[in-house]
Every structure is written in C-alpha cells, then in structure tokens.
C-alpha cells in the first residue's frame, strides 16, 4: 500500500492547501477536461465552462476522495477491510480505489438501489450487502458491521482526507481557467464544495464560490440559517446524489469560511440543465451532476454578463428509466411550456376557436371530458419560446378573448398527476361538510423510495383502514414513486388518520385546497 502523509486533521487552511497539492490520486483518478459550452455561452451572454468529472473511471468525482482516504490508511486499518454505506457514486469510487490498493471493500446499499449501481460495485471488486429501504437504514447497518467486524468506516463526505481528495478538482480547474469569475459547485454533504472552496479562495480570492442545492434537499441553506448543521425533516429523492439530511460538521466549517453564496434550484431547472449538458457534450448527466449548471443558469438571469463561469459536472451515472421523467420536465424548466386550465363553452367549434386564440403556438397536450354542463374545463399545454414575457402575453391574449384562464405551470400537483387524470369528478363533489358522521374527500400526495412491494405496502397501510376515492401512481426510474390519493374521512377519524400518516414514514403533503384538484378532480 502506498505510504503518504499521516492522517492528521488540518487545523489551518494552508494545511488543506498543501495537502490538496500533494494528494496522491493520479495513478487512478484522471485530470478531467474543461469543456467550453459555446451554445450556452451565446444564449446566456457569459463564457460558460463545464468541468467534466463524468470522465473519471467511475463517471463521478467521488473516486478522488475515496482514493485519497484509502491512501492515508495504515496497514493495521486495512487488515479487516473498509466499509461504507452508499447508494451510488461513493460506493463505486470506494470499490475501485480499494481494488487498486488491494484492500477488501464492503458496500452497504439500500435494497432500492438500481441494479446498474449494484452490478458496477461488484464489477469493481466490492462486496455488496443490501440492507433496508433507505440510505439511513444502510448507514446504520454499516456502522454496526464496522464495529462487529473491525472494519474501517469511510464516510462519503465528512472526512478530512475525502475533502482533500475532492479539492483536487479545484487544483485542475484553476490551472485550466485561472480567470474564472464564478465557480458553481453542487452540494450534498459538502465534501466537494468544502475541498474546492478552501483551495480556490486561498489562491484566487477574487473568484466567487457559489454552492448549488436542490430545493428539496437544502441542508446547507438550513445550516447557514441556523448557524450550525441541522437535520432536515425530509429530503427529495430525484437528485439522489445530493439527497442528504444534514451537512457535514467538517465540511460546514470550511463552507462557512470560504463559500460566498448558496443557490437552490428546482427539479424542473435540473432537468433543463440535463438537456443542455446533453446538447453541448452528448453526455447524459445524472440529476446531481447537472445541479451546478442549473445554479449557473439561475445566476445568469440577473448577472451583468460577460463573465467566465464554471460549473462542475459532478457525475453521469444516470438510471436510464429516469430519462422519461427528465424529458417531461425539462421544457418546464426552460420555460418552454405553459400548463393552463381554460374554461370553454360546451358547444361545437369551441376547440377550433380556442386553437385560433393561442396564435402560432403548438399545443403539446390537451385533456378534456364531456360533463353535460354549459361549459367545460380543459387542461392544455402550450409550447413557448422560453421567456416569461411570452407566457404573460399568452395569458393576456386568452383573457382578452373572454376565456377564463388559470396558470398551472408552477403547480406541482398539476404537473405530476392531474395532467394524466382528466376524466371525471367524485359523485359527492358538491358536498363539502365535515360534521360528525359525514364523509368528505381529502387529497394527499406521497413520495417514497421505490422497491419491490413498496406500492403494495402503501395500499395495505392505507386502504385497509380508509376508503380510497382517487388514486394515481407514478414510478420515476425505479428511484422513487409518487402517489396521489383521495380518502373519504369523517371528522372523528382525522386525528387517527394523520397519526397513521406519520407512522407510515413516507413524505406526504395535503393537496385538498390545491386549485388544480378543485378545478379538475373534485
């Protein structure tokens, strides 16, 4: 095994700088390219670059930190092997690094992990143990295995040697683009941001460092607001590579000192950036891999222009089946589709007149069902050129033509479920009472890790106790499932019902007052 610097936690930024410069990773990791994005640069009026960590042997930057960590271990620490919990890139990086150094590696992965990632870890020589249905369950198991089997635990981000390894991305970037004005770095647990920021800010203080988080997994933003790391109640599952409930302790201290700003982005904005990366490079980035470019594009909306901006394409281990979801959502992220509810007369020729009213624009979706009433609610998608102003022009034009219009472009319930469910309302929709003994439909959305039997578990837990009046389920690439469900509830049952939801352990939100539900389904 390679002998390197002692495993001593750096106490000063200069110590991090020195050890990043000396990190012995390049007999396995590679120096990745910096790709100029000409189409994006022209569109965004800035000089845009992508740091291509998809070019690593495991298609992710995680190899850097894992290999640097293993290089720092003593022979005694390696006798019984190393262990880590991971559902993706850290697992593959650690497995390949351990194979290179002749160390036995055990990776504890949730049962929900896609087969492609499990197979890759095994291909790189790692032992896989499938435990639990979430990362937290796998992590708890890895800690117990480490104690029982005397294995060395390798944390995916909150480890000094891992942070140093990730910092080598900044070393390369500064050589490739010394004039960078702003660098955008994705944030999960903070290892990449901490390592890059501590290096860049010491050698080029004028470069702004901006961390980018998914809106539904913004653990750094929560920590900055609280002044210390805190646990998020729940995290979104789409960008699984950054789905972390709590920022690291070591990483947070460095980020506080060296990071200038944090930006959060939506799922739609991430999907739009996946498309942009593909069009520039023909690489399909994973959601976490496209996160920093989404932040860069959001920054450009208000920037002065003419700056040199770099984003880290941190990984490209995309589950193929997720592409369907990305394709659906990317046009919304680019502001190229409007989702509208429009009231039209229930008479011949109404649809034709409506099409004439939207002008020279393509209809991407049209949902309608005859209800026997004088007017009908239609759910329609309209392709736009990409500007907010055009959407407003469309709305104003329809209103001038005497249509009643509701804009659902930013309504998550409409985008995820309602667009697939136009077809009728509940028989008792006119009733809206909550007196004892009378039932009323209440609507809830749920999100949960996908695994064999997950939907069955949901139905068994909810359907056996309360009457389900509406149900729509979507699977997004075997990573997570989303359900919209209506329930007949008596007022006397509500406390018991909400307690049952909490015990079930799924992420949920009540949607009864959502305008999309009230318009089309209730």
Known catalytic residues are 62, 314
Helix, strand, or coil (residue 372): coil
Q: CA-to-CA distance for 438 and 194, rounded, in angstroms?
A: 56
DSSP 8-state symbol, 187: -
**Nearest C-alpha neighbor of 267 from the set 236, 292, 234, 301:** 236
Radius of gyration of the chain (CA): 25
Q: How far apart are CA 48 and CA 163, in angstroms?
A: 26
Report d(CA 431, CA 489) in Å as an integer: 13
Q: Which residues pair with 465 in a beta bridge?
A: none
CA distance 184 to 190: 13
Between CA 479 and CA 452 the distance in angstroms is: 11
**Distance, CA of 440 to CA of 131 (rounded, Å):** 40
How far apart (Å, rounded) are the C-alpha atoms in residues 154 and 149?
14
At 34 the three-state DSSP class reads strand
Question: Which residues on neighbouring strands pair with residue 309, listed in sequence order?
Answer: 48, 182
- Taking the C-alpha atoms of residue 320 and residue 130, their distance in angstroms, rounded to an integer, is 21
Distance CA 327, CA 312 (A): 22
Structure tokens at 234: 């729940």
- The conformation of residue 274, written as its DSSP 8-state character, comes to H
Contact 224, 173 (CB under 8 A): no
Biggest CA-to-CA distance, the chain: 82
The half-sphere exposure of 167 on its side-chain side, counting CA atoms within 13 A, is 33
The beta strands (E) that lie in 354-449 are given as: 363-367, 375-383, 404-407, 439-449
Residues 336 and 420: their CA atoms lie apart, in Å, by 20
Q: What angle (nearest 5°) sits at the alpha carbon of residue 471, between those of residues 516 and 498?
A: 85
């Amino acid at each position: 095994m390679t002998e390197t610097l002692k495993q001593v936690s750096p106490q000063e930024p200069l110590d991090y700088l020195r050890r990043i410069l000396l990190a012995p990773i390049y007999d396995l990791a590679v120096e990745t390219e910096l790709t100029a994005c000409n189409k994006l640069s022209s569109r965004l009026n800035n000089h845009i670059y992508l740091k291509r960590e998809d070019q690593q042997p495991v298609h992710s930057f995680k190899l850097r930190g894992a290999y640097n960590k293993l290089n720092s271990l003593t022979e005694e620490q390696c006798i019984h092997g190393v262990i880590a919990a991971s559902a993706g890139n850290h697992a593959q990086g650690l497995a390949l690094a351990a194979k290179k150094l002749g160390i036995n590696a055990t990776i504890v992965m949730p049962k929900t992990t896609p087969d492609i990632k499990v197979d890759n870890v095994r291909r790189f020589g790692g032992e896989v143990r499938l435990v639990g249905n979430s990362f937290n369950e796998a992590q708890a198991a890895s800690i117990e295995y480490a104690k029982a089997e005397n294995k060395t635990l390798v944390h995916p981000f909150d480890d000094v040697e891992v942070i140093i390894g990730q910092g080598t991305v900044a070393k390369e970037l500064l050589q490739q683009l010394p004039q960078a004005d702003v660098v955008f770095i994705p944030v999960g647990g903070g290892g990449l941001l901490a390592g890059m920021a501590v290096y860049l800010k010491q050698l080029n203080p004028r470069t702004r460092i901006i961390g980018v988080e998914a809106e539904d997994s913004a653990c750094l933003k929560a920590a900055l607001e609280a002044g210390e790391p805190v646990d998020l109640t729940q995290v979104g599952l789409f960008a699984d590579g950054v789905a972390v409930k709590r920022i690291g302790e070591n990483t947070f201290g460095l980020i506080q000192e060296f990071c200038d700003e944090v930006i959060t982005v939506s799922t739609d904005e991430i999907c739009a950036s996946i498309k942009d990366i593909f069009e520039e490079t023909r690489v399909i980035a994973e959601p976490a891999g496209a996160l920093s470019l989404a932040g860069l594009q959001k920054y450009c909306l208000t920037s002065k222009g003419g700056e040199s901006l770099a984003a880290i394409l941190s990984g490209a281990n995309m589950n193929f089946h997720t592409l369907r979801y990305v394709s659906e959502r990317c046009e919304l992220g680019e502001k190229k589709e409007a989702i509208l509810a429009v009231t039209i007369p229930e008479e011949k020729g109404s649809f034709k007149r409506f099409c004439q009213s939207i002008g020279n624009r393509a209809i991407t979706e049209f949902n309608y069902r005859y209800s026997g009433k004088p007017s009908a609610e239609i759910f329609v998608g309209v392709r736009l050129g990409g500007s907010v102003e055009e959407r407003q022009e469309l709305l104003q034009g329809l209103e001038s033509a005497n249509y009643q219009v509701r804009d659902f472009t930013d309504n998550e319930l409409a985008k995820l479920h309602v667009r697939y469910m136009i077809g009728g309302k509940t028989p008792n929709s006119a009733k809206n009472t909550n007196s004892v003994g009378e039932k009323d439909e209440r609507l809830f959305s749920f999100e949960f890790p996908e695994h064999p039997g997950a939907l069955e578990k949901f139905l068994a837990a909810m359907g056996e106790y309360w009457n389900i009046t509406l149900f729509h389920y979507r699977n997004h690439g075997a990573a997570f499932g989303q359900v919209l469900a209506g329930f007949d509830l008596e007022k006397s049952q509500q406390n018991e019902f909400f307690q049952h939801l909490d015990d079930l352990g799924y992420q949920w939100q009540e949607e009864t007052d959502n305008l999309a539900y009230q318009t089309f389904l209730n």
